[in-house]
Structure 1
Amino acid sequence: MFSQIGNIKNGEKLSFRIHYGILNAGYATLSANQVNYRNAPHYRVTGIGKSTGAVRAFFKVDDVYESYINIATGLPSHYVRNVSEGGYRRYFETDFNHDNQTLVLTNKLDKTSKNFKTVKGIQDMISAFYYLRSMDTNTFKVGSSLKINIWIDDEIYPFMLKVTGTEMKNTKFGKISCLKIVPYVMSGRIFKSTEGVTMYVTNDANLIPVEIKAELLVGSLKASLDNYHNVKYPLNFK
């Protein structure tokens, strides 16, 4: 059952500071703004990530993601992944047709397009995050799990998220109660294990991530909430 994007406020912006080991590696922002797309209300969510400081000197990252998410269904209509990470370069745009479970993937670098068959309820990397945040907090609680299929580049990746507990997390704004979520991901390509990522999201209707940890094949990454603007519900920092 797919839900509406009901827990997001127009104009919401979340900012994160990213660390690679002890290094201040960069920042990321997520901005959600309501637009009319394909004659229907959507959130246009823009995600930007950049490396900074000493890390940028030897590994330059300039990533832009966009997802147009249908507010009524919570499903993506259009997805952009335009990334430059060191010598790695990808620029894909995806158009989803959920009625017949197909999509068109366009490679903007070589100007080619391919058609793919997908599955019901397919999400992209950005829309999946907002779909998660629209879960009913009465059902998305400790002990619950959620299966989700995510479109990444030119493949469908099945994920399972489990809420494993609650924890008070320290942030720059104070302490706040969080749900601990473990996404079960593919190991061997980037992550050390299938449980290499841990997310802490506010234990309230916002479900805003305040910390994300990832154990990589080489080193570890941590993203921490650095700023927030125009969230729908008050955040109860202590």
Structure 2
Amino acid sequence: MASRLLSAVVFFGLSLSALNAQYRSNPDSVFENSAFKPGEWLKFRVHYGIFNASYATLHLTSETLGNTQVYHVVGSGKTTGLASVFFKVDDQYESYFGKADGRPYRFIRKIDEGGYTRDVEINFDYSQNKALYHDKKKEKKMQFDIAYSIQDLISAFYYLRNAYEASDLVEGEDLELDVLFDDDGIFTFRLKYLGIETLKTKFGKVECLKFRPVVQSGRVFKEEESLSLWVSNDKNKIPIRIQADLLVGSIKADLEAYNSLKNQFKIILD
């Protein structure tokens, strides 16, 4: 269970860190003033109890997929040190999403978590309003009906970094977003904006927007509101901390390093 927790919290958390936003009236205009640029790289250190359990990275590049200009994100996570003795994780997630509209065109999930493996690819066909799901390990193919606003687990993070301003958020308000990343089909994330909070980090004090997604209690998380997320309250809107209370212990991911941010990273000087 620990290996799956690690992967789920890292990538679930990183992707959810901006899912509090409301879509603008014209979704195609979201990327006109992007919060990121090709080359952006984020690294997170994950603690599970007393262990420095793993590192996770997100790297954004620019590519062409067919005739579409896209961003390509690779998210990787691996256990390290003593943690890898008890549970080994080697996960990779990829997303290709449009530069013009932020919609996902391809999503890849390749994971190995203590022997539990998945090799999944999803291609999004907007001419047919279908998502084509292919589980390569099980040799299973499925189709899902999709709407314009659908996102995958990784593209959602980048899309919504552009879709809101802090002044648009209402403290205590719940917001929702539809996401597809597995054969369970499209599911809805529900999140609550909790306001502004300043965190002490290795870089200094950082003013953050705090969110709390509602998660399923009893299986992995202690309660429905066991997961908390902090996003920098600046033009970058990058995750600073993810923290969750689990049925056994707790897990926390902190921003460890970054490179090629489009905007200045705001640090509060004492």
Give TM-score scaled by structure 1 length: 0.93
Q: Which residue of 1 aligns with 2:7?
A: none
Instruction: State which of 132, 138, 142 in structure 2 corresponds to 1:104.
Output: 132
* Residue 189 (structure 2) pairs with residue 159 (structure 1): yes
- Structure possessing the higher relative contact order (Cα contacts under 8 Å, 6 or more residues apart): 2
Q: For the aligned residues, what is the CA RMSD?
A: 1.7
SS of equivalent residue, structure 1 residue 123: coil
CA distance in 2, matches of 1:38, 1:152: 21
SS of equivalent residue, structure 2 residue 31: coil
- Which amino acid is the alignment partner of residue 189 of structure 2? F
SS of equivalent residue, structure 2 residue 219: coil
Work out the percentage of aligned pairs sharing the same amino acid. Answer: 43
Give 4+ residue runs of structure 1 displaced > 4 Å after superposition: none
Tell me how many residue pairs correspond in the alignment: 238
* Deviating more after overlay: 13-22 vs 211-220: 211-220
* Residue 196 (structure 2) pairs with residue 149 (structure 1): no
Give the superposition deviation at 1:138. Answer: 4.7
Q: Which residue of 2 aligns with 1:20?
A: 48
- Which amino acid is the alignment partner of residue 70 of structure 1? G
Q: Which residue of 1 aligns with 2:31?
A: 4
Q: Report 1:53-64 matches (<5 A).
A: 53-64=81-92
Q: Which residue of 2 aligns with 1:36?
A: 64
* Residue 233 (structure 2) pairs with residue 206 (structure 1): no
Q: Which residue of 2 aligns with 1:221?
A: 251
Q: Which has the higher helix share?
A: 2
Give the superposition deviation at 1:188. Answer: 3.2
Q: Which residue of 2 aligns with 1:126?
A: 154
CA distance in 2, matches of 1:215, 1:99: 42
5+ long unaligned stretches in structure 1: none
SS of equivalent residue, structure 1 residue 41: strand
5+ long unaligned stretches in structure 2: 1-22
Give the superposition deviation at 1:189. Answer: 3.2
Give TM-score scaled by structure 2 length: 0.83
* Residue 110 (structure 2) pairs with residue 82 (structure 1): yes
CA distance in 1, matches of 2:127, 2:71: 20
CA distance in 2, matches of 1:193, 1:150: 22
SS of equivalent residue, structure 2 residue 186: strand
Q: Which has the higher strand share?
A: 1
